[in-house]
Amino acid sequence: MNRRKFLTLSALSAPLLSFQRPLTGSTKPIVVSTWDSGMPVNAAAWEILSKNGTSLDAVEAGAIYIENQINCCVGLGGYPDRDGIVTLDSCIMDEKANCGAVAGLERIKHPISVARKVMENTPHVLLVGAGAQQFALENGFTLEPQQLSEDAQKAYKEWLKKSEYKPVINIENIKPVKQHGPFAPAFFDDGSPNHDTMGLLALDNLFNLSGAVTTSGMAYKIHGRVGDSPIIGAGLFVDNEVGAATSSGVGEEVIRTCGTHTVVEFMRQGYSPTAACKKAVERIVKRNPQKAKEIQVGFLALNNKGQYGAYAIQKGFVFSVKSAMENRIIPSRHLL
């Protein structure tokens, strides 16, 4: 090949090559997210990552996407607590361990963006309840009407008949789901995505990791209950020297074991993302094997080379991956 031809070819293939797996074995940019409903979330994050954007902007964009889905179990369309009130939990963390979170936030559409403002505009990490709402309003967010989505209203009415507080293993088992094509997220028959917690992790072109989590938390919880999702080290942890992890499932078990911090520490010891998630799952199961049979917790991890993996207690946890080479839903391995 002469020099002129080589230069022409190089110029043409440059945008592609910049996203190929480099010789070091790293994949970047890449975004991974919990559940099959992560597919369109990843697409929103990819819009930013593929244009050389930061992982922080990418994970916020992904979370905003899902919070915008009014029939979704994440965000204001989510299921309420036992008093019929939707309360939202969210957090965000970047490559420098900057982090922000909100918990028990009512009537604000984008808790992830409030969490980012907590991170960037305050010396604090976590704001809760009325204080979080006041902070949101002071920062230009608007109060949404206090009303349940049609789907949540129906489900809450049904739940009130027995008022039984019982976590379900995989929230997708509540209602029948449809799979619209190989890469489409699974939806309830009424068209709504079917999971209650969205956690996503991204590695950008500068090898910076960030993560975000957004949820309406466990359905029919006691008013004021906060799960793992907005707790740094439980629902989300990022350490740019090693990797990042997020979780979905019964938050109390994740908080008790500092779940995602545990996953990242296992990766620091040299475990692969999948093996590190498995070790964290084993820790939960070992603590109370009987209880573990009745609950679900799934961990998802991404290391700073762009390698990913997941592990869950039970069958049923899946995650979504998007890079230049992949765009798919992957079933997690499981312990029981």
Residues that are catalytic: 197
Sheet with strand 243-249: strands edge to edge:
236-239, 243-249, 297-303, 308-312, 333-334
Pick between residue 159 and residue 207 the one whose CB is nearest to ligand GLY: 159
Among 197, 296, 314, 320, binds ligand GLY (CB under 6 A): 197
Of 38 and 53, which has the nearer Cβ to ligand GLY?
A: 38
- Minimum CB distance to ligand GLY smaller for 112 or for 324: 112
Q: Which stretch binds ligand GLY (CB under 6 A): 103-111, 135-143, 221-229, 273-281?
A: 221-229
Give SS3 for 177.
strand
Q: Closest separation between CB of residue 220 and ligand GLY, Å?
A: 12
- Smallest gap from Cβ 152 to ligand GLY, in A, equals 15
Of the residues 38, 100, 211, 217, which one makes contact with ligand GLY according to CB under 6 A? 217
Rounded distance between C-alpha atoms, residue 233 and residue 257, angstroms:
9
- Please say which residue, 51 or 291, places its beta carbon nearer to ligand GLY: 291
63, 105, 169, 208 from 166: Cα distances, Å: 27, 23, 10, 39
8-18: b or e for each residue (b if 16 or more CB lie within 10 Å)? eeeeeeeeeee
| Interaction of residue 38 with ligand GLY, rule CB under 6 A | no
Task: Measure the CA–CA gap between 109 and 114, rounded to whole angstroms.
Answer: 9
Residues pairing with 105 in the sheet? 88
The smaller minimum CB distance to ligand GLY, of residues 61 and 218, is found at 218
Residues 233-252 interacting with ligand GLY (rule: CB under 6 A):
248-251
Give the side-chain half-sphere CA count within 13 A for 198. Answer: 35
Nearer to ligand GLY, 104 or 243 (CB): 104
Binding of ligand GLY by 215 (CB under 6 A): yes
- Encoded tokens for 320: 């979504």
By CB under 6 A, tell whether 80 contacts ligand GLY.
no
Task: Determine the interface stretch with ligand GLY among 41-49, 96-104, 222-230, 272-280 (rule: CB under 6 A).
Answer: 222-230
Can you tell me the distance from the alpha carbon of 176 to that of 327, in angstroms, rounded to the nearest whole number? 24
Rounded CA-CA distance 238/267 in Å is 11
Instruction: Indicate the Cα dihedral angle 193, 209, 314, 331, nearest 10°.
Output: 70
Asked if 209 contacts 87 with a C-beta cutoff of 8 angstroms, the reply is no
Q: 240 vs 45, 249, 262, 285, CA distance in Å?
A: 19, 25, 15, 28
Number of residues that bind ligand GLY (CB under 6 A): 11
Query: In one letter, which amino acid is 302?
Result: L
The pair of structure tokens assigned to 227 is 């799960």
> According to CB under 6 A, which one of 29, 62, 211, 227 is a site residue for ligand GLY?
227
How many whole angstroms separate alpha carbon 282 and alpha carbon 6? 53
Tokens 């002469």 appear where? 2
Which stretch, 75-83, 200-208, 211-219, 268-276, contacts ligand GLY (CB under 6 A)? 211-219
Q: Least CB distance from residue 182 to ligand GLY, whole Å?
A: 27
193 or 249: CB nearest ligand GLY: 249
State the minimum distance, in angstroms, from the CB of residue 235 to ligand GLY.
6
Stretch that binds ligand GLY, among 132-140, 149-157, 227-235, 298-306 (CB under 6 A): 227-235
**Quick count: other Cβ atoms within 10 Å of Cβ 27?**
21
Among 69, 214, 229, 314, binds ligand GLY (CB under 6 A): 229
The minimum distance between CB 185 and ligand GLY, in angstroms, equals 18
Binding site for ligand GLY (CB under 6 A): 197, 215, 217-218, 227-229, 248-251
